[in-house]
Amino acid sequence: MSKYILILFLSFFYCSFGQEFSVELFFEDSAGNQDSIILGYDDNATDAIDSSFGENNIISIPYNSGLEVRISDEQKSRTTFPDPIPATYHTKKQIFQKGCPTNFSVQAIDIITENWPVTVSWNNSLFNDDCRNGSVFTSINPGGWWDTGSPSEFECGFFRVELLNDNQITFCDNTEYPEFANNENYSYLIDNNTIVSVFWFTFGNQSLLLNTEDYNLSKVLAYPNPTNNKVKFNINRTNLEIENIELFDISGKKSKIKLDSNDSINLKDFEVGIYFVRLTFKNGNTLLKRIIKN
């Protein structure tokens, strides 16, 4: 009889706390504050709070000082058309409904810190699987998936990382620059007027989630960077054609710049500082690159 009780207990334990797959993402801001969240999936999970998978709803708990990272439906609820609706969950662990290979939901990752940039790291060997080898972390709102810009992209060049191909990425506040300030698509205010930056994560299969144009954009590099004068773009590695190029300084002021026959720009007449180059391609896609002039 005791053997059957033990089997029943183990079955309950597995159903209550196990999941098919999970990964922990570790965050650290520039002041050394650390936090982490857990994301995963299972056939028996939902995209709401499942206490059987160890998920806890902390929506009523105030954010911690320093760095805090949460998974929530806050931004989605606040931008529901035609009228906002109350958010239903904040959590540190979210196990999705399994939707392999491309039908996973997109989860918003909310981040509060006074010390940007933030670095996130993970075990990329966990993503070598046909169900998740296209999983991504991105600063671009899913409403523009993937061909719009973001504050983080404008500030530091980060718009998306594929978790199989890297194990760490450093990214910037998704609220910083004037053209994106108070943009509800990338951030929101909480009661004490603290700004919460929003990023997004989804599991997915690479061959279906990312199309050829996305892949080509990810291959465009700007080098050398930092630079004293010239910066070259390796457009020849792609099938993309540049239609227009724009240069902005850190305040958002636009300057004229030309691309020469070697797909390079020359910054010799510009002051030392941080600049942003926006490339517009003939297929309609745009790409923003952060350039440091020494």
Average pLDDT over residues 169-189: 78
Predicted confidence band at 8 (pLDDT cuts at 50, 70, 90)?
very low
C-alpha span between 163 and 125 (Å, rounded): 9
C-alpha span between 268 and 271 (Å, rounded): 8
More confident residue, 59 or 11: 59
Q: For position 98, what pLDDT does the model report? A: 94
Q: For position 147, what pLDDT does the model report? A: 53
Q: For residue range 68-103, list pLDDT tens digits in order.
A: 999 999 998 998 877 899 999 999 999 999 988 878
- CA-nearest of 244, 240, 255, 250 to 272 is 250
Q: For residue range 232-254, list pLDDT tens digits in order.
A: 988 776 677 888 898 888 777 88
C-alpha span between 78 and 49 (Å, rounded): 19
More confident residue, 293 or 58: 58
- CA-nearest of 196, 205, 208 to 108 is 196
Q: For position 11, what pLDDT does the model report? A: 40
Q: What is the mean pLDDT of the chain?
A: 84
C-alpha span between 198 and 194 (Å, rounded): 13
Q: What's the pTM value of the predicted model, to 2 decimals? A: 0.70
More confident residue, 211 or 108: 108
Query: Which CATH superfamily groups domain 219-293?
Result: Expansin, cellulose-binding-like domain (2.60.40.760)
Q: For position 14, what pLDDT does the model report? A: 40
Q: For position 34, what pLDDT does the model report? A: 98
More confident residue, 236 or 152: 152
Percentage of the chain with pLDDT > 70?
84
Average pLDDT over residues 25-47: 96
Q: For position 18, what pLDDT does the model report? A: 66
Predicted confidence band at 7 (pLDDT cuts at 50, 70, 90)?
very low
* Residue-range domain boundaries for the chain: 2-209, 219-293
pLDDT at position 35 over 50: yes
Q: Distances from the Cα of 137 to the Cαs of 39, 52, 204, 212, 254, in angstroms?
A: 12, 26, 11, 18, 29
